[in-house]
Structure 1
Amino acid sequence: MLRHPAHILAQGFGSGLSPIMPGTSGTLFGWLSFHVFSTRWPEIFTTVNWAIIILLGFIVGVWACRITGKNLGVADHGSMVWDEIIAMWLVLLFITPASWQTQLWAFIIFRFFDMAKPPPIGYFDRRFKGGFGVMWDDIVAAFFCLLTFALWRAV
């Protein structure tokens, strides 16, 4: 992880090195970091600033995941979890303020879409490769998570 700065980011500051369910560990890291940053520094981590951070995080993530995947010899290596972190931040940005129970449901629903990859998420996962592909399918999973929440709240 420490051989290149891209690896630190792509592997979620070490959260992706978990031997058990690294994607879930990365998503948990995303949830925890969003909560800590938003609670500790609310004047910095505003809605607008989070949106900018997520957009820049996506762009830098494409680079970091491309480099890390190339260096590891696997385009979408399981230890690369920056995509889960950015996608979880996106979900939390749109559902916050929310109770911890609602955030837990967001975590569960996002993980379902990210792991099961129902259409069209699976299509994007197969179609796009490299750093963009790694990042994009998780953004689509986040969209479906948010769509689920929108439908849930409409009922």
Structure 2
Amino acid sequence: MSLDAAQRRALLAHPAGWIATGFGAGLAPVAPGTVGSAVALIPYWLWLRDLPLAGYFVAVALVFALGIAASRIVVARTGVQDPGFVVVDEFVGQWLALALAPPAWWWILVGFILFRIFDVWKPWPVSWADRNVHGGLGVMLDDALAGVMAGAVLAAVAHVVP
């Protein structure tokens, strides 16, 4: 769904619009999901990666819950079940993919690529969640599952690669 200037203003007039669009990252004219995943690396690098693992998961769970609420409002306002400009789900999925990433920058790049692959490919159960779970939870759940799957692959590879 492409938004005109008036629709953008209406969307961003509500705090849920800012949260759902990743503070505007989802309004990128090309590949908003990839842009959202890339923007998610900023708070990851500046803040999340230094948290203890329990704190990391609490922060991600809080953003997941906030994302459900914000996405529910945006879905209700736009009438679109999973609007492409909603990228808070990419934030959560990307952070889950990187939860166990080793600290080297190239592992972050590998985690970014793996998350994008799982998010676009949508293997089961990601595809199931994408088709069967709706509303704010539906927006968030498929990307969270893609992030967990990407994170599992990243952790396995990191365990094998020195």
Q: Under a length normalisation based on structure 2, what TM-score does the superposition of the two structures give?
A: 0.85
1:89 maps to amino acid: W
Count of aligned pairs: 150
1:130 maps to amino acid: G
Contact 2:98–2:151 under 8 Å retained in 1: no
List alignment gaps of at least 5 residues for structure 1.
Answer: none
Q: Distance in 2 between matches of 1:110 and 1:53?
A: 19
Aligned to 2:106: 101
1:13-49 Cα deviation digits (max 9, x unpaired):
000000010000100011122102258xx5xx44333
Distance 1:150 1:37, change over 3 A: closer
Aligned to 1:32: 42
Q: Distance in 1 between matches of 2:148 and 2:62?
A: 18
The 5-angstrom pairing of residues 104-143 of structure 1 reads 104-143=109-148
Q: Distance in 2 between matches of 1:93 and 1:136?
A: 17
1:124-153 Cα deviation digits (max 9, x unpaired):
100101100110001110111022123324
Alignment RMSD (CA, Å): 1.6
The 5-angstrom pairing of residues 51-62 of structure 1 reads 51-62=57-68
Deviates further, 69-78 or 14-23? 69-78
Aligned to 2:79: 73
Aligned to 1:16: 26
Aligned to 2:16: 6
- Which of 42, 66, 70 is residue 64 of structure 1 equivalent to? 70
Aligned-residue sequence identity (percent) comes to 37
List alignment gaps of at least 5 residues for structure 2.
Answer: 1-10
Q: Distance in 1 between matches of 2:55 and 2:159?
A: 28
Q: Under a length normalisation based on structure 1, what TM-score does the superposition of the two structures give?
A: 0.89
